[in-house]
């Protein structure tokens, strides 16, 4: 693999950039692989990379129905943070954040991780209680997260309206300074390039149609639109489509898939320095390097695979954004879109073994999958290689829905009384 650097770019500039090679190869599938990963998003590609890099397993194929990173990897609002409440969540998201911090250098691909700070607004006493609980838990876990007064919040994010007369006045905020954003496509491409370089096969436009099992019940391969491909182990990491793929192995999942919408404004000169989220008014916002305001809306209420939600979801989100930032009322929405998120009942991910031997699953990341990408991928590689979850992912098992050992971050955000 040719190394990327400013010198390489300069050299290529002299000759019209004719010398760049494909970032990943597009081979025809082999008859059999040691490992097949279903789903060519950030998690799947990353897992392939770490399998090759850290576990020496290179006879690996990532099989993608469409184009790499075309699912939620390429449709999200790119927020990265790790200030979750429960140990299980902090473990994985902090592991992920640490990997984000060195990912560009590790992959030799600028994923533009930008720790510009993630601020979460508190609007009432209930919010404050919940946020303080997070801050204390984060500190004792070793995660940065701090409380800001309204004035400190305004100083960090000048567009914020902290008037006490607002319908939802701001009584403070949390700030995780290491939180921020990254360039979503680059994550998929960077992993694909690095994995491909280590011998992993990245196979696009190949849809899995069935999972074949051997006489002992363990997996033996996948039926695809490119024919049968054998595999000793299979990991399914197909976000919104996990239920569909797992059903091929007769495994029912505690998942429902719903559209999650987002939108961007027209590009503008820098005005918004960080990421701001407000759970009470349901909105989150940042500004991309291109200058677009990137705004996350909510999920639609019903199951759907349509990547197409209702206008009312978007307008409701903009209601909230314009309430927090009245100067943005004249800004224009340039593009809205949807992704399909797979949600578990406790809104925490599932990563672990399944009732089928040598079939592993990574799903249920809901609206938080992007920030988890490197961490999830790294631990998924461990799971596939060792056959059992890594210590840091030990809580994310599928059987918690039988035992009741849920990781309910949403419930812990509590409710108004």
Partner 1 sequence: MLLIYCPYCEEDRSELEFRHGGDAHIVRPTNMADISDEEFEEFFFLRDNPKGVIYERWRHIHGCGRFFNAARDTVSDRFLASYKTGEPKPALSGASPASAQLAEPPAQIDETTEGTAK
Partner 2 sequence: MSGANRIAGQGRLTPARTARFTFDGRSYEALEGDTVASALIANGVHLVGRSFKYHRPRGILSAGAEEPNALIDVARDKARRQPNVRATVQEVFDGMIVSSQNRWPSLAFDVGGVNNLLSPLFAAGFYYKTFMWPKAAWDKLYEPVIRHAAGLGVAPTEADPDRYAGRFAFCDVLVVGAGVAGLSAALAAAGTGARVILCDEQPEAGGALHFDGSVTIDGQPGYEWAQATTARLAAMENVTVLSRTTAFGYYNHNFVGLVERVTDHLARPERKLPRERLWQVRARRVILATGSIERHMVFANNDRPGIMLASAARTYLNHFGVAVGRRIGVYTASDSAYEAAFDLKRAGVAIAAIVDNREKPGEAVVAEARKLGIEVLAGHSVVDTKGHRRVSSMKVARNGGGSGRSIAIDALLMSAGWTPSVHLFSQSRGKVAYDAESGRFLPGAYAQDCLSVGSCNGTDALQASIEEGLAAGELMARATGYDGGDKVELRGENAFEWTGGMAGAGEGAGADTTVKAFVDFQNDVCAKDIRLAVREGMHSIEHIKRFTTNGMATDQGKLSNIHGLAIASEVLNREIPKIGLTTFRSPYTPVTFGTLISHSRGDLFDPARKTPMHEWEVAQGALFEDVGNWKRAWYYPRSGETMQDAVNRECRTVRNAAGVFDASTLGKIEVVGPDAAEFLNLMYTNAWDTLKPGRCRYGIMLREDGYVYDDGVVGRIAEDRFHVTTTTGGAPRVMNHMEDYLQTEFPHLRVWLTSTTEQWAVIAVQGPKAREIIEPLVEGIDISNEAFPHMSVREGTVCGVPARLFRMSFTGELGYEINVPADYGQAVWEAVWARAEPLGACAYGTETMHVLRAEKGYIIVGQDTDGTVTPYDAGLAWAVSKKKADFVGIRGLKRPDLVKEGRKQLVGLVTKDPGVVLEEGTQIVADPNEPKPMTMLGHVTSSYWSENCGRSIAMALIAGGQARMGQTLYAPTADRTIAVEVSDMVFIDKNGERLNG
Give the footprint of partner 1 on residues 332-351 (CB under 8 A).
Answer: 342, 345
Minimum CB separation from partner 2 for residue 91, in Å?
8
Q: Which of 241, 347, 382, 390 binds partner 1 (CB under 8 A)?
A: 241
User: How far is residue 231 from each of residues 31, 160, 321, measured CA to CA in Å?
Assistant: 9, 53, 48
Minimum CB separation from partner 2 for residue 93, in Å?
13
Question: Can you read off the two tokens belonging to residue 22?
Answer: 């494909």
The smaller minimum CB distance to partner 2, of residues 223 and 408, is found at: 408
Minimum CB separation from partner 1 for residue 264, in Å?
21
Burial of 252 (0-12, 13-18, 19+ CB in 10 A): exposed
205 is a site residue for partner 1 (CB under 8 A): no
Burial of 412 (0-12, 13-18, 19+ CB in 10 A): middle
Question: Can you read off the two tokens belonging to residue 373?
Answer: 């990408």
Minimum CB separation from partner 1 for residue 242, in Å?
8
Minimum CB separation from partner 2 for residue 167, in Å?
5
Encode 266-276: b = buried (16+ Cβ within 10 Å), e = exposed: eeeeeebebbb
Tell me 200's DSSP state. Answer: -
402 is a site residue for partner 1 (CB under 8 A): yes
**Any idea which residue has 């007769």 for tokens?**
250
280 is a site residue for partner 1 (CB under 8 A): no
- Which of the stretches 58-66, 128-136, 164-172, 401-409 binds partner 1 when contact is defined by CB under 8 A? 401-409
247 is a site residue for partner 1 (CB under 8 A): yes
Burial of 335 (0-12, 13-18, 19+ CB in 10 A): exposed
Q: Coil, strand or helix: which one is 362? A: strand
- Which of the stretches 80-88, 125-133, 227-235, 249-257 binds partner 1 when contact is defined by CB under 8 A? 249-257
The smaller minimum CB distance to partner 2, of residues 58 and 124, is found at: 124
The smaller minimum CB distance to partner 1, of residues 10 and 311, is found at: 311
302 is a site residue for partner 1 (CB under 8 A): yes
Tell me 4's DSSP state. Answer: P
Decide if 75 contacts 185 (C-beta within 8 A): no
The smaller minimum CB distance to partner 2, of residues 31 and 402, is found at: 402
312 is a site residue for partner 1 (CB under 8 A): yes
Q: Give the footprint of partner 1 on this chain (CB under 8 A).
A: 241, 243-244, 247, 252-257, 301-306, 308, 310-312, 342, 345, 401-403
């Amino acid at each position: 693999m040719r190394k990327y650097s400013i010198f390489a770019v300069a050299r290529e500039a002299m000759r019209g950039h004719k010398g760049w090679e494909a970032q990943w190869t597009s081979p025809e599938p082999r008859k059999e692989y040691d490992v097949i990963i279903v789903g060519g998003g950030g998690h799947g590609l990353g897992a392939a990379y770490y399998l090759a890099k850290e576990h020496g397993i290179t006879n690996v194929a990532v099989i993608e129905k469409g184009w790499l990173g075309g699912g939620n990897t390429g449709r999200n609002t790119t927020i990265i943070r790790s200030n979750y409440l429960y140990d299980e969540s902090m473990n994985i998201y902090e592991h992920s954040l640490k990997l984000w911090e060195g990912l560009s250098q590790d992959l030799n691909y600028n994923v533009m991780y930008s720790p510009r700070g993630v601020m979460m607004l508190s609007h009432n006493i209930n919010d404050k209680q919940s946020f303080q609980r997070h801050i204390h838990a984060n500190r004792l876990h070793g995660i940065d997260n701090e409380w800001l007064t309204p004035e400190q919040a305004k100083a960090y994010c000048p567009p914020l309206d902290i008037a006490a007369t607002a319908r939802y006045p701001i009584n403070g905020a949390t700030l995780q300074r290491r939180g921020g954003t990254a360039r979503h496509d680059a994550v998929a491409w960077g992993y694909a390039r690095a994995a491909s370089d280590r011998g992993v096969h990245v196979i696009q436009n190949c849809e899995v149609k069935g999972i074949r099992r051997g006489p002992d019940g363990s997996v033996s391969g996948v039926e695809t639109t490119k024919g049968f491909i054998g595999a000793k182990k299979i990991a399914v990491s197909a976000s919104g489509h996990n239920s569909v793929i797992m059903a091929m192995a007769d495994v029912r999942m505690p998942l429902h898939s719903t559209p999650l919408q987002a939108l961007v404004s027209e590009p503008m000169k820098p005005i918004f320095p960080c990421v701001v989220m407000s759970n009470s008014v349901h909105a989150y916002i940042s500004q991309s390097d291109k200058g677009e305001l990137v705004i996350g809306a909510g999920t639609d209420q019903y199951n759907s695979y349509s990547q197409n939600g209702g206008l009312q979801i978007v307008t409701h989100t903009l209601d909230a954004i314009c309430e927090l930032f009245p100067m943005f009322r004249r800004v224009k929405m340039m593009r809205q879109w949807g992704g399909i998120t797979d949600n578990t009942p406790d809104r925490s991910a599932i990563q672990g073994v399944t009732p089928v031997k040598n079939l592993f699953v990574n799903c249920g990341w809901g609206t938080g999958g992007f920030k988890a990408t490197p961490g999830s991928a790294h631990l998924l590689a461990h799971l596939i290689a060792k056959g059992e979850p890594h210590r840091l992912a030990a809580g994310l098992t599928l059987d918690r829905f039988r035992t009741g050992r849920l990781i309910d971050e949403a419930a812990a955000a509590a409710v108004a009384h």
